[in-house]
Structure 1
Amino acid sequence: MENSSECQLQIRLITTQDSYAVPDVPFSVPTNIDTKGLNELLNQLLKESNADYLKPKEFDFLAINELIRTPLFEHLQERNVSSEATIDVEYIERTPAPEPQESILHDDWVSSIQSTEKWILTGCYDNTVSIWTHHGKPVASLKDHTEIVKGVTWINKNDPSKGFISVSHDQTAIIWSWEEGTDNALPKIHLRGHEKGIDSVGMSPNGKRVATGGWDTNLKIWSASVETEDSGEPTSKKSKGSKSLATRTPLHTLKGHKESISSINWVDEHNVCTASMDHTIKFWDCELYGISNEIVDQKAFLSSSWSNLTKTLLASCADRHIRLYDPRSTEGTICKTMFTSHSMWVSSVSWSKYSENLFLSGSYDSTVKMWDTRSPKAPLYNLQGHEGQVLAVDWSNNKYLISGGSDNCVHIFKNRHVL
């Protein structure tokens, strides 16, 4: 083939963003054109077709359903696509880089995070559960656990006054009540039944049931009600100083894993997904109380995140890769994509709850990465700041990307591309 800079490709520029549409006709471009050249071409076309278009914008480009990261001809070659036909190149406004906001210092490693519209809930290796504002202001610090806190979750992220739940290596989970915005948070109910430390927790979408898993390999389902009388479970009360605490037992115990359960996601009101150190991901039917599906891989699973938008699961193993699984798949492998950029184990993944393509990952290599599923070989951005292993990432609030780690810090980045 001739020198790529002298040869031409026929492309058609298309978009679903009507405000940036250009004529739907083929253009001849050099085969070695890259995203910079495509941006120059597109901005020139937009300027010619719209007199009000004054300031150039940055766009990303997709061909064959993947973001273009190399010269266009190379992109097509890697995917065995002929360069002789007219190629549809889709363009979208580029997601801007998240902006660093606050850094919250804890007294020990930060193991878990979950945010709401106004608040951040954290679990820490110093046995504490804490509540913060997104500006880093402390609201409440609670130390009723006797060992490290490995998981935290709001009962209802849209209504934090419903309380929250924490799980610990002291073999208990605690349901807390909270007077929103104050330091008045009280332990209300102890969930007891695990025989070893609890590592993971997941709240059902309706906020009525909570699932926990840990080193005894059992998945336990509990009532998440703060009130003892409507839990449907036997409870007993005991005094702890001036506090009246109830102890609750699980509704159901589901057995099947052989090692610790590292991550829990509710797929819907009746189905739970668990990732485990035993190299398996299991889907549980919580009406029939059995395993409905299973994914087996070569490594221990460290984290997972379910997307209600795409009905797919992100998971990380004891390697540097992130895998995207489609449990509904009947053709080919269930693992549809693998994302590789981290240099050490990926400890935590979190889908954006507002985008079907964007997610976060955190790794023992001290980095947090923002990804687009259409770019498996390179993240959109590296979010810098941690000086130790990243142990938890969260994107529950579309405005903020949050991470915590072994440097005792929570870092908050503002999402400049709120959908």
Structure 2
Amino acid sequence: MKEIVSKKLISVRSKLNQLSERFGESVSIPTDLLAISNETTIGRKESGKKAIQMGQKLKTAFRVPPGKLVQSFKVGVSDGSRRFKYVRNFTGHRDGVWHVATSRGSQPVLASASADQTCLLWSLDSGCCLAQYSGHSGSVNAVAFSPLSVDPSDLTVATASGDHTAHLWKASVSGNSGVHHHHQIGSSEEEELPAERDLNNLNEENMAENDISEVSCIRQPLRRLTGHTGVVIAVDWIAGGEQIITASWDRTANIYDAERGEILNLLSGHDDELNYCSAHTSQKLVVTASRDSTFRLWDFREPIHSVAVFQGHNDSVTSVVFSATDKLVSGSDDRSIKVWDLRNMRSAIATVRLDSAINRLAISPKNFVAIPHDNRNVRVYDLNSVRITRLPRANGRSHRRMVCCAAWADDHAANDLITCGFDKQIIAWKTSTGKE
């Protein structure tokens, strides 16, 4: 019996080593499983019992998060340390950061929405804080730049809040002015992150307040969008920049006229709170995602509007994004993302099972999907090559709590992927995805 157990352990070790090499992550055998090989099996009855326990423990050892085993057969998985490099931290928020978004144009600006009831604007070029919006009386849950905002000196921004409203506001910033309070280091993973080391000995809230007090503060909105009876959890601009969609915990989504602030359409039908809404960049298509395990595609391209209900997830749908190639990608608390074809919406064309609940996805024009997780990891899924990569985690250069959202800054020279989390951090990364 002891020899059989030893052989099985050798087999387990071999397979787990192969998994570790494939995923670039550590996969270990439980210590209690290793201890079995040193136990003395006495008597037929006891050895039989241990054999049953052994079988159960072997099953447990291979009950790795679904993505690790499924992906090893369905998609290629690789370590991201060579393809994704840490660039800098943007420090300033006093509470968790729910959402990040980037503007278009030659001088892109980063916006961050936080539970500290503010939205901050940052320069992606210099890494400094440019402005603060403090007009909400509740958590700022989402932020979106108008597609017409291509000049930092004339930005129109929409924010969604726990105060049951969405706000439209204007900001005029210079792409490189503002207050520097980021931490930037090289990309070597062997160095220790000074900011991470020092931050533990500082009062983060006081440090953030002192820095933010030096930037211009916008306190009044251009327009308040009212009508929801619950938390407004998401906001986006519909193609053309003349209309805005909001999603709320009151189970509805509203479409507003951006100029007048009037409700043009009320989208109802979900059976539970909404988590997210998103609009196609060039067509009058919007999606709403809900805790009812479904998401809906609303088509406003024709005078007679239509809606399609997507069922496939078995837990809350946390976000849905449009790709540049007529596809939708949905993420869920069921630990999976699904890819859907807009031309054939009956069922998902691909399912990627992962090891943690998924939050707000982001997709680049080159079809790379950034996947933020509850377990502090961020993965990037390539729709073209069907490969998945995990962003590196080394010496504090990563999130310490749930990662809430990701945003792409297309082809930015210094950093083209931004992630944010409930640890108050905003992290910029440089990717090499475009070179492969």
TM-score (norm 1): 0.67
Instruction: Give the match for residue 299 of structure 2.
Output: 285
More strand by share: 1
Instruction: Give the match for residue 240 of structure 2.
Output: 206
Partners of 2:362 and 2:332 in 1: CA distance: 14
CA offset at residue 180 of structure 1? 2.8
Mapping of residues 102-141 of structure 1, within 5 Å:
102-105=88-91, 106-116=93-103, 117-134=107-124, 135-141=126-132
| Unmatched tracts of structure 1, length 5 or more | 1-35, 37-68, 80-93, 226-230, 232-247
Instruction: Give the match for residue 174 of structure 1.
Output: 167
More helix by share: 2
Look up the equivalent residue of 1:401 and give its one-letter code.
L
1:101 equivalent in alignment to 2:84: no
Mapping of residues 175-254 of structure 1, within 5 Å:
175-181=168-174, 183=216, 185=218, 186-225=220-259, 231=260, 248-254=261-267
Partners of 1:339 and 1:299 in 2: CA distance: 15
User: 152, 172, 178: which is aligned to 2:143?
Assistant: 152
CA shift in 2, pair 1:120/1:136, >3 Å: same
Partners of 2:378 and 2:231 in 1: CA distance: 27
Partners of 2:430 and 2:167 in 1: CA distance: 31
Other structure's SS at 1:258 match = coil
Identity of aligned residues (%): 21
In the alignment of these two chains, the number of paired residues is 305
User: 328, 332, 336: which is aligned to 1:321?
Assistant: 336
CA offset at residue 212 of structure 1? 0.3
Instruction: Give the match for residue 134 of structure 2.
Output: 143
Mapping of residues 10-409 of structure 1, within 5 Å:
97-105=83-91, 106-116=93-103, 117-134=107-124, 135-156=126-147, 157-160=149-152, 161-181=154-174, 183=216, 185=218, 186-225=220-259, 231=260, 248-267=261-280, 268-286=282-300, 288=303, 290-297=305-312, 298-307=314-323, 309-329=324-344, 334-341=347-354, 343-353=355-365, 355-356=366-367, 358-374=368-384, 376=386, 379-384=388-393, 385-399=398-412, 400-409=416-425
Cα-to-partner distance string for 1:110-130 (whole Å, 9 max, x where unaligned): 001001242110100011011
Partners of 2:292 and 2:304 in 1: CA distance: 20
Partners of 1:375 and 1:416 in 2: CA distance: 15
Other structure's SS at 2:263 match = coil
Other structure's SS at 1:257 match = coil
Cα contact 2:377–2:390 (8 A) shared by 1? no
Cα-to-partner distance string for 1:280-338 (whole Å, 9 max, x where unaligned): 1111133547443110122210111111x2111111111221111113227xx521112
Other structure's SS at 2:169 match = strand
Cα contact 1:254–1:289 (8 A) shared by 2? no
Partners of 1:364 and 1:417 in 2: CA distance: 24
TM-score (norm 2): 0.65
Partners of 1:252 and 1:293 in 2: CA distance: 17
CA shift in 2, pair 1:120/1:221, >3 Å: same
The runs of 4+ residues in structure 1 deviating greater than 6 Å are none
Instruction: Give the match for residue 189 of structure 2.
Output: none
CA offset at residue 209 of structure 1? 0.7
| Unmatched tracts of structure 2, length 5 or more | 1-21, 23-67, 75-79, 179-215
RMSD: 2.7
CA offset at residue 374 of structure 1? 4.8
Cα contact 1:178–1:184 (8 A) shared by 2? no
CA shift in 2, pair 1:95/1:103, >3 Å: closer
Instruction: Give the match for residue 61 of structure 1.
Output: none
CA offset at residue 131 of structure 1? 0.4
Cα contact 2:102–2:111 (8 A) shared by 1? yes
Look up the equivalent residue of 1:150 and give its one-letter code.
N
CA offset at residue 177 of structure 1? 0.9
Look up the equivalent residue of 2:118 and give its one-letter code.
T
Partners of 1:290 and 1:128 in 2: CA distance: 36
Other structure's SS at 1:295 match = strand
Cα-to-partner distance string for 1:99-149 (whole Å, 9 max, x where unaligned): 211101221000010012421101000110110112431111221111111
Partners of 1:104 and 1:257 in 2: CA distance: 36
Cα contact 2:159–2:168 (8 A) shared by 1? yes
Look up the equivalent residue of 1:265 and give its one-letter code.
S
Cα contact 1:205–1:266 (8 A) shared by 2? yes
Cα contact 2:229–2:250 (8 A) shared by 1? yes
Look up the equivalent residue of 2:400 and give its one-letter code.
E
Cα-to-partner distance string for 1:78-110 (whole Å, 9 max, x where unaligned): 68xxxxxxxxxxxxxx99612211101221000
Partners of 1:396 and 1:282 in 2: CA distance: 27
